Structure 1
Amino acid sequence: MEVEAPGHEIFEVNFTGKSIIKAVNPLPGPHILTLSNLDLLSGRFPVTYFYFYNKPLVSNLTPIVDILKSSLAETLNYYYPFAGRIVQNLNTCEPEIICDNNGALLVEAQANIRLKELNFYNLNQLLQGKLVKLSPDFPLQVQVTHYTCGGISITFTFDHALGDASAFGNFLISWSKITQKKQISCIPDHRRNLRARSPPRYHPSLDQTFVKCTIEEIINMPATKIRLKRLYHIDAASIERLQKLACVNGNKRTKIEAFSAYIWKVMINAIDQSHSKCKMGWLVDGRSRMCGEENSMSNYIGNVLSVAFAEASLIELKQDSISDIANNVHEAISKATTQDHFLDLIDWIECHRPGLMLSRIVLGQGGPALVLSSGRRFPVAEVDFGFGSPVLGTVCSTIERIGVAYLNQRQSARGDGSWTISAILWPELAAALESDSIFQPMSANHLQL
């Protein structure tokens, strides 16, 4: 599909090359990596991280794409499951990773416009079929696109069964360091050893939060209006102002809690009158919760995520202050940030195997809802492959059907406290968010291009 950049010629991408990159020192023989219980909660959604870079200041005799191919092959020595295949085990009816060095796919492309002419705001037009071209045979796919100004974009698409944001962040940092001939700081842990207790036991509330499903049910979930994929910039001053509104009467609330309260209040202007309530959810990383030490699972490669959620009536959200709502957000998130919660979740999954599991609100069960993912530790400026830090680094998914709106927060590459927000929204919610000055549609000006 042709994509028109406003005020400029039609955005076209010519695919110029395709390579399968294998680890240079693979394991002695193929072996099977069994997914952990929490991996079965990932939904197998494709996740794409995309980074944009200005023209390198220093020219290199070796083409950039050749440098990336060589360093990726070395990186896959450490992240060997990323060069494997994800297949369905016919006996267990669950996916597993065949670590056979099948390889990662790297695609090369040439765009016909300059970076500054891209429509960064409309991710539907920017990514699908242009900067992300998926092949089902490779759980890791990379596309390197060159622009007429000398700028570069790199998109990394992962099958969610490989890991979560923390795992993918470790991979990108390792790859960038290897490219620069630096020592990697993360020796990845591929044990996938998050196992159930014996006998398994869990709090009955998890039956209302999560549900067993198949990959077919995920792919073919009922169509909704949640199809708009957008990218926004939020100034540091706006974030600080929201946090001040949330921190009253001696309460200390995080920026994410304050931001969540604001979003939840805006949602009431975007919900059909037939609904009296709406939900919010928050992705929670369990690494520090599982072992009690901040870095004890920092190198764990896999999924260690849960979803905290809360429900509120539209009347309450309309009447309550940002501070009141932020208190409710804090209470909801706190329930999922404990070791007991994650142990219960692992056991709940054990009791419902075989198969995949998913949060009910992600499947669209239970009315209007939005899930927020905070990526305050996710690397942006640090993803430097030797030709400078990116001007933009964020995330989106190419999934066509989803039952819940999503907001993904990342630190801006500018390093000034501002945020980049990637969103999947229904039209009324996009209009409600954009009616205020806090959500600014992403532009080349925000990226200082």
Structure 2
Amino acid sequence: MEVEVPMHSQFHVTFKNTSIIKAINPLSKPQTLSLSNLDLLSGRFPVTYLYLYRKPQAHNFASIVESLKASLAEILNHYYPFAGQIIENPDTSEPEIICNNKGALIVEAQANIPLNRLDLYNLNVSLQGKLVSIDPNFPFQIQVTKYTCGGISVTFTFDHALGDASAFGKFLVSWSEIAQQKPISCIPDHRRKLCARSPPTYHPSLNQTFVKCTIEEIINMPPNNITQKRLYFIDATSINRLQTLASVNGEKRTKIEAFSAYVWKTMVTSIDESHEKCKMGWLVDGRGRIHGEQNSLSNYIGNVLSLATAEATVTELKQISISDVANMAHQAISKVTNEAHFLDLIDWIECHRPGLMLSKTVLGRGGPALVVSSGRRFPVAELDFGFGSPVLGTACSTIERIGVGYMNQRQSARGDGSWTVSAILWPELAAALESDSIFQPMSASLLQL
């Protein structure tokens, strides 16, 4: 059997063509979409998803690209903000989405290697300037890359002001449904209706968690060593074993809580001895929590995220069991997974407008920290655009500076309970995680390429 040897210095991508795709039935006149309070908490970070497909049996690359363009032009009728522009309001300095059908950008590229030689573990050498093209003039852009074996990768990059993972997942599923000539399963809600109460009121603890900031402060975070972009595979057996260890005395912990406990205990072995404490954070989706289940915001296109955080001493985390750490994670997440928290957060932002807001943890204020994002409902295997299901679907990042370690978990395309985990780590944490067998560096063999 051929041995996997990822090609680093030999990996090149040639850009062949760019196209601007517009909705075929646009709005009758441009509209301005003001961002909601929770949109202002997004940080304007680019959000990228990477999907890999084996060589299609019945389609060539040119026909695939044309099919993607045609179905994109159709789905943009429904998701028209994604074909707009994001500009700064001169009076408030806040971003606005101008729904003017300027279009989405599609880039076509050719790689000089087969798909099974792509380095899927070290994303630092695969993404920026190769598999991901970012033009700041387009809030949504796609790159379709063909490999010498006929395999294909597709990257989708969104401006975070357009929405969060739930919104982008709805969009991608709808696009794939259009591509397969199916009716779309989601009628998107673009109203950005998350309004503050009158008068706004909030718990004072939010002042310790969030802070007003500028886009310049976000872009120019102080340099640090959180630079390692990695992709891992975790098999179902490992996940289930962690959940068993974390669930004691009749208290069952979720897989994410158990996973977080393991990562947090590993993290304390990798931080500088000068730090007495460290933090863990969890992104929490407010859909289904705001205004009750009858108004679950399930089709809401925008940002509905908050951040739960917990802090502990390094000594304590080293000494206590994984179940105790999982309990800490559970308690922290529970404080945020309710309507009262999200209504308070919306009001807190209202009291600090105009401008952008962000978690102090994400800005790197307050010591070593790692944030976990669960994408368990994000589409992976079902993202078929008419040329087959993907073998990999994952979040990835082109962010050059980030103030916190980050992990994004989602179901693997296998559908067997295994996970794909995309991470941005400092070198010592990457080494600590890889010293065990749970975090397996992603490879072509794990994807059966």
Q: Shorter-chain TM-score category?
A: over 0.9
Q: State the shift of 1:344 in Å.
A: 0.1
Matched, 1:230 2:230: yes
Structure-2 change in CA distance of 1:315 and 1:62 (3 Å): closer
Matched, 1:425 2:425: yes
Report the counterpart of residue 15 of structure 2 in structure 1.
Answer: 15
SS of the equivalent of 2:161 reads helix
Structure-2 change in CA distance of 1:62 and 1:145 (3 Å): closer
Q: State the shift of 1:58 in Å.
A: 2.2
CA distance, structure 2, for counterparts of residue 377 and residue 414 of structure 1 = 15
Report the counterpart of residue 194 of structure 2 in structure 1.
Answer: 194
Report the counterpart of residue 275 of structure 2 in structure 1.
Answer: 275
TM-score normalised by L of structure 2: 0.98
CA distance, structure 2, for counterparts of residue 357 and residue 396 of structure 1 = 23
Q: State the shift of 1:5 in Å.
A: 6.1
Report the counterpart of residue 66 of structure 2 in structure 1.
Answer: 66
CA distance, structure 2, for counterparts of residue 111 and residue 129 of structure 1 = 12
Structure-2 change in CA distance of 1:423 and 1:59 (3 Å): same
SS of the equivalent of 2:335 reads helix
Report the counterpart of residue 119 of structure 1 in structure 2.
Answer: 119
Aligned letter for 1:257?
A: E
Structure-2 change in CA distance of 1:349 and 1:79 (3 Å): same
SS of the equivalent of 1:291 reads coil
Structure-2 change in CA distance of 1:94 and 1:148 (3 Å): same
Report the counterpart of residue 367 of structure 1 in structure 2.
Answer: 367
Unmatched tracts of structure 2, length 5 or more: none
Report the counterpart of residue 249 of structure 2 in structure 1.
Answer: 249
Aligned letter for 2:26?
A: P
SS of the equivalent of 1:10 reads coil
CA distance, structure 2, for counterparts of residue 198 and residue 168 of structure 1 = 31
**Aligned partners of 1:233 and 1:442 also within 8 Å:** yes
Report the counterpart of residue 338 of structure 1 in structure 2.
Answer: 338
Structure-2 change in CA distance of 1:294 and 1:255 (3 Å): farther
Q: Deviations over 1:119-168 (max 9, x none)?
A: 10011111110001111100001000011111110000000000000000
**Aligned partners of 2:8 and 2:125 also within 8 Å:** no
Which residues of 2 match residues 272-421 of structure 1 at below 5 A? Answer: 272-293=272-293, 296-421=296-421
Q: State the shift of 1:396 in Å.
A: 1.4
SS of the equivalent of 1:78 reads coil
TM-score normalised by L of structure 1: 0.98
Task: Report the number of matched residues.
Answer: 446
Aligned letter for 1:289?
A: R
Aligned letter for 2:430?
A: A
Aligned letter for 1:44?
A: R
SS of the equivalent of 1:336 reads coil
Aligned letter for 2:116?
A: K
SS of the equivalent of 2:59 reads coil
CA distance, structure 2, for counterparts of residue 294 and residue 151 of structure 1 = 44
**Aligned partners of 2:7 and 2:119 also within 8 Å:** no
Q: Deviations over 1:173-211 (max 9, x none)?
A: 000000010010000000000010000000000000000
SS of the equivalent of 2:108 reads strand
Aligned letter for 1:17?
A: N
Q: State the shift of 1:295 in Å.
A: 7.2
CA distance, structure 2, for counterparts of residue 61 and residue 205 of structure 1 = 54
Q: State the shift of 1:291 in Å.
A: 2.6
Q: Deviations over 1:261-307 (max 9, x none)?
A: 00010011101000011000000000111132187311000000000
Aligned letter for 1:407?
A: M
CA distance, structure 2, for counterparts of residue 102 and residue 313 of structure 1 = 51
**Aligned partners of 1:167 and 1:299 also within 8 Å:** yes
CA distance, structure 1, for counterparts of residue 300 and residue 129 of structure 2 = 32
Q: State the shift of 1:6 in Å.
A: 3.2
CA distance, structure 1, for counterparts of residue 7 and residue 279 of structure 2 = 39
Q: What's the Cα RMSD here?
A: 1.3
Structure-2 change in CA distance of 1:319 and 1:304 (3 Å): same
Matched, 1:92 2:92: yes
CA distance, structure 2, for counterparts of residue 186 and residue 81 of structure 1 = 16
SS of the equivalent of 2:298 reads coil
Aligned letter for 1:200?
A: P
SS of the equivalent of 1:432 reads helix
Structure-2 change in CA distance of 1:162 and 1:148 (3 Å): same
Q: Deviations over 1:59-108 (max 9, x none)?
A: 36971000000000001000000000000000111000000000000000
Structure-2 change in CA distance of 1:337 and 1:108 (3 Å): same
Report the counterpart of residue 38 of structure 2 in structure 1.
Answer: 38
CA distance, structure 1, for counterparts of residue 375 and residue 294 of structure 2 = 16
**Aligned partners of 1:8 and 1:117 also within 8 Å:** no
SS of the equivalent of 1:110 reads strand
Q: State the shift of 1:256 in Å.
A: 0.3
Report the counterpart of residue 165 of structure 1 in structure 2.
Answer: 165
SS of the equivalent of 1:325 reads helix
Structure-2 change in CA distance of 1:9 and 1:342 (3 Å): closer
CA distance, structure 1, for counterparts of residue 278 and residue 70 of structure 2 = 49
Q: Deviations over 1:313-367 (max 9, x none)?
A: 1111011101111111100000000000000000000000000000000000000
Aligned letter for 2:134?
A: L
Aligned letter for 1:201?
A: T
CA distance, structure 1, for counterparts of residue 7 and residue 303 of structure 2 = 42
Report the counterpart of residue 110 of structure 1 in structure 2.
Answer: 110
Percent identical among aligned pairs is: 75
Unmatched tracts of structure 1, length 5 or more: none
Report the counterpart of residue 138 of structure 1 in structure 2.
Answer: 138
